[in-house]
Amino acid sequence: MKKILVSDKLAADGIKYLKEQTGIEVHIQTGLDGDGLCRIIGDYDALLIRSDTQVTPAVLHSAVNLKLIGRAGIGVDNVDIPLATELGIIVMNTPDANATTTAELAIAHLMSLSRHLPAADRSVRAGKWERSKLMGTEVAHKTLGIVGFGTIGRIVSQRGVGLKMEVIAYDPFVAPEIFTELGVESVSLDDLVSRADYITLHCPLIEKTRHIIGGKQLALMKKETMVINCARGGLIDETALYEALKNGQIAGAALDVYENEPPAGSPLLALDNIVFTPHLGASTIEAQVAVSVEIARQAVTFLKTGEAVNALNLPRLSADELKKSYEFMKLATILGKVLVGLTLQPLHKIEVATFGRAAEVAVRPISIAALVGVLSEHVSTPVNRVNAENLAKRQGIKLVESVTQESRDYISLIKVTGFCADQTISLSGALLGGRQPRLVCINHFDIEVVPEGTLLVTRHDDRPGVISAISAVLGNAQINICRMQVSIADDQQEAMAVISVSEPVNAAILQQLNDLAPVHKVTQINL
């Protein structure tokens, strides 16, 4: 008999599902403090929580039989995931269960902005009748721009199409066929912000997306444009948004999330052309039921079959498996990160091939590790070797594997090739001494690189003075060059350099490097 402890309030439908399962014993004890949870957790195989329960190191060390922590919802800040992983405990959440609710809130804000509903309500309550002042616009035949085309963005697109809107979307990490299937035009970010009448954000908050809507993007928008953010605070530069709204640069905005929550003292609160809600994205009865039922189903599936749906970590590997594959998996993850850093378009296929001693261990953990590297900075869900393959499928990426016992110049070699619409990038990596990862080939350039820190990858003319010009730009910017490797293609008048620098370069310095006449392209990769 498997025992499940529910320590936070779950919807009745979720509890009912658990109690209907054979071989499952359910105990509900909410409101436990840390000591109380520590005293009883050792008896349970699974712990189901929301946001109130704090799964601390003390709780985890007391959980001698625990195999699963299930979070009904998305956020897992209240769980010590690294320690849970070390102890072999699966942590899972329900990232898509509230997708419809969040998408519908974005559409609600869209309609509210188009018809001035909050202002109209305030006007009538004040005894006014301002019909002409509150003239609205129809959304039909307007352009809806979606930034981020994951699960929620795709639901929003379907709602937009249903409203007879023209839907365009920006997501450089989604394969073209995904857009085509949903009847959505894939565009660049600049194209989206300049064309859209309504812009709604549905991407994760990572370093690359912080302030994805800033002063530059707001300046490109039409005066009629309205911006909606029901995703993550920090995606919009709120200072720039304030100036754009105050000066009439754009027509309006609606925010459900903020850089600081609650947004006490924000100058945005003084403006009339913006609407606020208090982070209501998942706050519907249906969503609360959905996350409860979904985490109940996932927990039962795991306890009965071992399948870890929406797992955020991995069970502990055996010492023997870890010894055989760990270094190869680390190398594959690095190759995946470098690959996605070099691609200019969405990937639709990744091939992973192992040679020599790398082929003596199972290829699947290695190929999944490569996917982790490719996906880790591009999706909102934490990526690991449990969920990487499913996430790749959702992004339209096909995985192909091959194994060859013969070695290619190196005792052990891993080759990762990424295929885009009109670009193919192939990377090879090796382990020196069985432990030291090296990037040894990029396409037809043989180049031995220590893959760590910040790398600048250049493609440039093979002629004197290019490297000194690049070095001069970095030197003038007080950027120290730690290492540099240069490779020349055998049959082309082209060279490649991989430069390890002391710190990331800013956009202005990167542009200076790309503006050098002999330089074709400079790409920055942070490992």
pLDDT digits (tens, 9 = 90+) for 331-383: 999 999 999 999 988 899 999 999 988 888 888 889 999 999 999 877 766 68
Q: Is the pLDDT of residue 410 over 90?
A: no
The reply to whether 2-96+286-305 and 99-276 are identical in fold is yes
Q: How confident is the model at residue 408 (pLDDT cuts 50, 70, 90)?
A: low
* Residues 99-276, CATH architecture: 3-Layer(aba) Sandwich (3.40)
Helix axes 12-19, 285-305, angle to 10 degrees: 20
> How do residues 226-238 score in pLDDT, each as one tens digit?
999 999 899 999 9
Q: How confident is the model at residue 394 (pLDDT cuts 50, 70, 90)?
A: confident
Q: Is the pLDDT of residue 308 over 90?
A: no
Q: Is the pLDDT of residue 468 over 90?
A: yes
Q: Is the pLDDT of residue 490 over 70?
A: no
Burial class (CB in 10 A: 0-12, 13-18, 19+), 478: exposed
Q: Give the model's pLDDT for residue 321.
A: 64
**Residue type, position 361, single letter:** V
Catalytic residue among 232, 394, 438, 459: 232
Q: Give the model's pLDDT for residue 80.
A: 92
Q: Give the model's pLDDT for residue 335.
A: 96
CATH code reported for the domain at 318-443: 3.30.1330.90
Q: Is the pLDDT of residue 216 over 70?
A: yes
Secondary structure in 3-state letters for 88-125:
CCEEECCCCCCHHHHHHHHHHHHHHHHHCHHHHHHHHH
Catalytic residue among 138, 224, 261, 448: 261
CATH code reported for the domain at 2-96+286-305: 3.40.50.720
Mean pLDDT of 401-408: 82
Q: Give the model's pLDDT for residue 51.
A: 83
Domain boundaries, the chain: 2-96+286-305, 99-276, 318-443, 453-527
Q: How confident is the model at residue 42 (pLDDT cuts 50, 70, 90)?
A: very high
459 is catalytic: no
In this predicted structure, which of 16-20, 22-26, 79-83 has the lowest mean pLDDT? 79-83
Mean pLDDT of 61-66: 94
Q: How confident is the model at residue 293 (pLDDT cuts 50, 70, 90)?
A: very high
Q: Residue 458 and residue 496: Cα distance in Å, rounded?
A: 5
316 is catalytic: no
Catalytic residue among 159, 279, 364, 408: 279
141 is catalytic: no
Q: Residue 237 and residue 259: Cα distance in Å, rounded?
A: 8
Q: For residue 400, what are the β-bridge partners?
A: 351
Q: Give the model's pLDDT for residue 352.
A: 95
**What is the homologous superfamily of the domain 453-527 according to CATH?**
ACT domain (3.30.70.260)
Q: Is the pLDDT of residue 317 over 60?
A: no
